[in-house]
Amino acid sequence: MKRTFSILLMSLLSLSPMLATQPESVNEEPQAEIKFDKMTHDFGSFTEDKALVSCIFTFTNVGDAPLVITQCVASCGCTVPTYSDKPIEPGKTGQIKVTYNGKGRVFGPFSKVVTVMSNAKTKMTRLSIKGEMVEKK
């Protein structure tokens, strides 16, 4: 019995350095973070003779490392995002221009999504556009 107790005590003492709680040093690397001025844009109603409409989504790098937009993908071929692949320094702004081409499309309301991928803390962000193309009277 004494031997079992001694072995158990020795085992606990040898584990005590591993069980001691020590604060972990948090050494996070700098990271970019993207913040948009708006997430949606409504073109409202427009006629077929003005079927090409564009808007600008402005964003700010609110992180502490350079931000790089790696890809912008639209949900439809009628929507084209354009952007710069140059790094945006912390505190600086950039823009994504989204153009919708309604030429040859069906009249009525539409809603499209542009997925923005970057090296930011939030890797993927979705922007949306909507509107309604009506017949010219």
Q: Which residue has better confidence, 136 or 52? A: 52
Q: What is the mean pLDDT of residues 4-28?
A: 55
What pLDDT was estimated at residue 10?
59
Over residues 42-81, the pLDDT tens digits come to 999 998 889 899 999 999 999 999 999 999 999 989 999 9
What pLDDT was estimated at residue 31?
94
Over residues 96-114, the pLDDT tens digits come to 999 999 888 888 999 999 9
Structure tokens at 37: 């001025």
51: containing domain: 34-134
Helices H / strands E in the chain, number of each: 1, 8
Q: What is the DSSP letter of 40?
A: E
- Does 7 map to a domain? no
- Does 10 map to a domain? no
Q: Name the band, by pLDDT with cuts 50, 70 and 90, for residue 25.
A: very low
What pLDDT was estimated at residue 12?
55
CATH number at residue 66: 2.60.40.10
User: Residue 16 pLDDT more than 80?
Assistant: no
Total domains, the chain: 1
- Does 16 map to a domain? no
- Does 28 map to a domain? no
- Does 22 map to a domain? no
- Does 21 map to a domain? no
- Does 74 map to a domain? yes
- Does 23 map to a domain? no
pTM to 2 decimal places: 0.77
